[in-house]
C-alpha cells in the first residue's frame, strides 16, 4: 500500500503506535491446530485515523502492519487483550519505510468495542484506529 510522504518522525510514531497489542503468544501446541487464544472483539482489521496505516490482529496472536511509505511489519502480540492495559509486542519481520527494527516493544492501549475504536500509545502520543 503506497501512501503520501510523511515526516520521518510521524512515520516512526505511526508504526510504533500500531504495535499496540503485540508480544509472543507461543505456538498452537504442535498438533497442527490453529491457535485461537487471541480471538476476541479486537481481532480483525483496523484502519488508522491518525495517520494512513493498516493493522490486522489475528486470532492466533499474529499481527500484520502496512504503514506509510511502504513500511511492512509482522509479528505476535500477547493474549488476552482486555479493554485497556499494556502489552508487549514482538516484531519478527520489518521492511521498508521508517519501520521499527525487529525486537520487543511495549505499548499501552484502549479498546472500545461499542465504538469499534482502538487507541495505541507507545510513548510518542496516542494513535487512533477504527474498523475499515
Higher pLDDT among residues 120 and 132, named by residue: 132
- Give residue 21's pLDDT: 34
The kind and range of the H/E element at 108 are: strand 103-112
- CA atoms of 98 and 69, how far apart (whole Å): 7
| Percentage with pLDDT > 70 across the chain | 70
The more confident residue out of 125 and 27 is 125
Residue-range domain boundaries for the chain: 8-27+45-130
pLDDT for the residue numbered 123:
63
The whole-number pLDDT of residue 22 equals 35
Question: Can you give the pLDDT at residue 97?
Answer: 82
User: What average pLDDT does the segment 89-115 reach?
Assistant: 89
In this predicted model, which residue has the larger pLDDT, 56 or 6? 56
Residue 18 pLDDT: 43
- Global confidence as pTM: 0.72
Split at pLDDT 50, 70, 90, the class of 125 is low
> What's the CA gap between 109 and 30, in Å, rounded?
30
User: Residue 67 contacts by C-beta under 8 Å, 6 or more apart in sequence?
Assistant: 3, 11, 14, 15, 18, 51, 53, 54, 73, 97, 98, 99
Copy the grid coordinates of residue 12: 516512526
Amino acid at each position: 500500500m503506497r501512501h503520501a510522504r510523511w515526516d520521518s518522525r510521524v512515520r516512526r510514531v505511526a508504526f510504533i503506535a500500531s504495535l499496540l497489542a503485540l508480544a509472543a503468544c507461543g505456538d498452537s501446541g504442535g498438533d497442527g491446530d490453529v491457535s485461537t487464544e487471541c480471538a476476541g472483539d479486537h481481532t480483525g482489521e483496523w484502519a488508522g485515523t491518525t495517520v494512513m496505516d493498516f493493522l490486522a490482529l489475528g486470532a492466533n496472536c499474529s499481527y500484520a502492519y502496512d504503514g506509510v511509505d511502504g513500511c511492512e511489519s509482522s509479528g505476535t502480540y500477547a493474549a488476552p487483550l482486555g479493554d485497556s492495559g499494556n502489552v508487549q509486542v514482538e516484531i519478527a519481520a520489518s521492511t521498508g519505510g521508517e519501520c521499527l527494527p525487529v525486537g520487543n516493544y511495549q505499548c499501552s492501549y484502549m479498546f472500545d468495542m461499542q465504538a469499534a475504536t482502538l487507541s495505541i500509545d507507545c510513548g510518542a502520543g496516542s494513535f487512533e484506529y477504527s474498523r475499515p
